[in-house]
Amino acid sequence: MEQQVDVFVCHASEDKNSFVRPLAEGLRRLGVTVWYDEFSLQLGESISRQIDRGIANARFGIVVISVHFIGKHWAEHELRGLVNRDIEEDLRILPIWHGVSKQQVLAFSPSLSDKVAIDTQMDNAQEAALKILRTVRPDLYEQSPRAELERQASGEAIANLQSEIEDLRAQISEFQCPICNAPLSTRLDAPVDQEQKHWDIVEAYECGHRHFAGNTLYPCPNDPKFPTWEDYEIACEPANDKSAQQWQCTAWPQTEMARKVNLEVSYGRTEEEAREKLRKTLLYRAGLIGNAEWFRSQAF
């Protein structure tokens, strides 16, 4: 069974920008279920069949009568369906005069000219939406003060909510890593100089990023400047002890960022093994492999 909607909007496409789209969007923001082609037509289905279903399942039919509407083939088709339901069933037609006179409406449809109508020369889309809401959904109209309904219909309420969300994001960002948004884990006051005359804040984040007094102590793994294998000079030599770990490899940083990510000396039974352990440690620091893979790579 098709879902019933509150209103079906019958209009000419030329009137979308000037009135119909703002009206339909205003009604939706107010909680009215709306059949409107830009919201409701489904790709691949017959347009006329979808329109007929929309008319059949609407409780009210909004007809936006304009000079563009009068004489339109599709508009006449929709209007006939609405009028038939208005006569035979319980659907009510709500006419809107959009830039037309009573004489023009009378000449086009005597039955429509006799109905109380909204005139866009006196009411804009927002005001028209409120009047329609009072008729089609009195329950919603009575729930909120008119001022609040006007804010909803105009979109001001949504704009205010978006502004509040942006303000909240700005406040939250103070407690997030500036690179990856990881949560702040530690914030401490610390002296900048040995005499402890000047102090600043050390901040550490769950991603590992740390900074102090405007300087990076340890970079975020997601920082594009995080050091790579090429930022180190790898020196390997036979180990000094007589254990099974016969080789040791040391990573000598060659860039400023690499000097902030110190890699411990790695040991292996062969030079290749020791070098690979060192490389895996850097990948682990960069967040490119997990704990389990790193532990396996370091096993003797």
The catalytic residue positions are: 78
Q: How far is C-alpha 219 from the geometric centre of its chain's CA atoms? A: 29
Q: What are phi and psi of 239, to 5 degrees?
A: -70, 150
Residue of 112, 154, 115 lying closest to 26 (CA atoms)? 154
| Beta-strand relationship, 199-205 and 184-191 | antiparallel
Q: Are 246 and 271 in contact (CB under 8 A)?
A: no
List CB contacts of 181: < 8 A, sequence separation 6 or more. Answer: 173
CB 208 within 8 A of CB 220: yes
CA–CA gap between residue 200 and residue 191 (Å, rounded):
6
Q: Do residues 255 and 227 make contact, with C-beta atoms less than 8 angstroms apart?
A: yes
> H-type helices in the chain, by residue range?
21-29, 37-40, 47-56, 73-88, 102-108, 110-113, 125-136, 138-143, 146-154, 156-173, 256-259, 271-285, 291-298
Dig out the tokens for 158 from the structure. Answer: 């949504």
Pick the closest to residue 21 from 129, 151, 94 (CA basis).
129
